[in-house]
Amino acid sequence: MDDLFAVAEGELHCHESIVLTDSRSYEDQVLLKDRRVLENILNRQQDSRHGIVNYFNTVQSEIKPHMRKIVSDWMLEVCEEQQCHPEVFSLAINYMDRFLSQLSLQKHQFQLLASVCLFLASKFKETNPLPAENLVIYTDNSISTHEITQWELLVLDVLNWDLSAVTPYSILDHLLRTLEFDPKFQVETVRRHSETFVALAATEHVFCQTSPAVIAVACLASALRGLNAQGLDEMLAKLQGLTGVQKNAIQECMDKVEISISLSMSGVSFQPTNSSPAVAPNQQSTHSSTKIIPQQPGYYQHSTTPTDIMEISSTCVF
């Protein structure tokens, strides 16, 4: 019997190699083409933003808008380097804003909260979530894995374990999969630009209380306008019909998106006032500052975004 299991020395070889693959489910074309799916997403968007307030003036005493900009930019860089699903960043920002709207935070805890939100979002969306050890490295070891796991339960408790939030990306993704574009136009180019606009808009606190549908439609419209797409007015009319977003809301958000992105590329943050000028934090507020452009005939056909902003580098997109 022992001879059956006897193996001559040097004859046992293992040639198999383990290859880890990121397996995802197939897209259900029936669901993508069902109008009720988009309607359900739009109906849930208010629930996803319920409780988000201008926490800088109410809840937070140490956290300031420029700190949120710095931390959110860091979160975006982590997601890009780790090649996360685009919605991971949007979900993490949603979790962070909802948490900050309810509990006061100290400055030294801000990056820990951001790390935990990324950790939770990647767990919710990714097949292989971000390891806590990687997040510790990205913070230059200013936090520990033990703190991440402790705060994970705290954040979940504050969010009432509701992680299935509707984000601008989730609406944009559904629109891009269902809309019919001109055959001459590359849908993937539109997607890259639109996703970049959505991600960069999420880093600006001025969009915290804006409807996800408004942001999604405005970012898509800005991408199309910047790429000089034909039939933009007809496309916007169709988007209005699908989402119920009003034309003036699209116009206002498009202006804010393009101004904030232009300033972001310059290394400053969008700080609107009552008259909606775009003023850099280190500049004096003057009446000559850039203002929101009023609607004019053919307004949507011309982009207010500088040409170099539209030539988005591949390093800026997912």
The CATH number for 76's domain is 1.10.472.10
Same domain, 300 and 232: yes
Tell me, yes or no, whether 45 lies in a domain.
no
Q: Are 197 and 257 in contact (CB under 8 A)?
A: yes
Task: Specify whether 296 is located in the same domain as 198.
Answer: yes
SS (H, E, C) 26-82: CCCHHHHCCHHHHHHHHHHHHHHCCCCCCCCCCCCCCCCHHHHHHHHHHHHHHHHHC
Q: Are residues 214 and 152 in the same domain?
A: no
pLDDT of 19 reads 56
Residue 9 domain flag: no
**Which pLDDT does position 11 carry in this prediction?**
54
Q: Which pLDDT score, from 0 to 100, does residue 3 have? A: 55
Report which of 178, 172, 173 is spatially closest to residue 217, judged by C-alpha positions.
172
Evaluate whether residue 1 is within a structural domain.
no
* 308 plus 193 within the same structural domain: yes
Give the DSSP letter of residue 182.
P
Q: Is residue 10 part of a domain?
A: no
CA proximity to 92, closest of 126, 67, 63: 126
Q: 180 and 264: one domain?
A: yes
b/e sequence 75-109, b meaning 16+ C-beta within 10 Å: bbebbbebebbbbbbbbbbbbbbbbbbeeebeeeb
Do 93 and 115 fall within a single domain? yes
Cβ atoms 198, 215 nearer than 8 A: yes
Question: Which residues lie below 8 Å from residue 45, measured CB to CB, with a gap of 6+?
Answer: 166, 171, 211, 212, 213
Do residues 217 and 134 share a domain?
no
Q: Does residue 64 sit within a domain?
A: yes
Q: Are residues 154 and 73 in the same domain?
A: yes
Residue 33 lies in a domain: no
The pLDDT assigned to 273 comes to 47
pLDDT of residue 302: 44
How would DSSP label each residue in 247-293? HHHHHHHHHHHHHHHHHHHTT------TT--B--TTS---TTSB-PP
**Do residue 114 and residue 230 come from a single domain?**
no
Number of domains within the chain: 2
Asked whether residue 62 is domain-assigned, the answer is: yes
Q: Would you tell me how many other CB atoms lie within 10 Å of the CB of residue 17?
A: 5
Range of the domain at 181: 168-281+290-312
C-alpha torsion sign, points 161, 172, 126, 210: negative
Which two three-digit tokens encode residue 50? 């319920």
> pTM score, two decimals?
0.76
Secondary structure (H, E, C), 198-241 = HHHHHCCHHHCCCCHHHHHHHHHHHHHHHCCCCCHHHHHHHHHH
Q: Is residue 69 domain-shared with residue 191, that is, in the same domain?
A: no
Indicate the residue among 133, 158, 183 that finishes a domain. 158
Question: Which of 130, 158, 186 is the last residue before a domain boundary?
Answer: 158
Is residue 290 helix, strand or coil?
strand
Q: Assess whether 174 and 113 both reside in one domain.
A: no
Nearest to 42, CA basis, from 227, 178, 156, 157 = 178
Last residue of a domain, one of 109, 127, 158: 158
Per-residue pLDDT of the chain (318 residues; tens, 9 = 90+): 555 555 555 555 555 555 556 666 677 777 777 788 888 888 888 776 666 888 898 898 899 999 999 999 999 999 999 999 989 999 999 999 999 999 999 999 999 999 999 999 999 999 889 999 999 999 999 999 999 999 999 999 999 999 999 999 999 988 888 887 766 667 888 899 999 999 999 999 888 888 899 999 999 988 888 777 677 778 888 888 888 888 888 888 988 888 887 776 666 555 554 433 333 333 333 333 333 333 343 444 444 443 343 444 343 444
| Residue 194 is assigned to a structural domain of this protein | yes
Q: What's the pLDDT at 314? A: 40
Q: How far apart are CA 67 and CA 84, in angstroms?
A: 23
Q: What is the pLDDT of residue 130?
A: 93
| Residue 212 shares a structural domain with residue 300 | yes
| Joined tokens for residue 64 | 């300031």
Task: Calculate the CA dihedral of residues 56, 51, 147, 80 and round it to 10 degrees.
Answer: -80
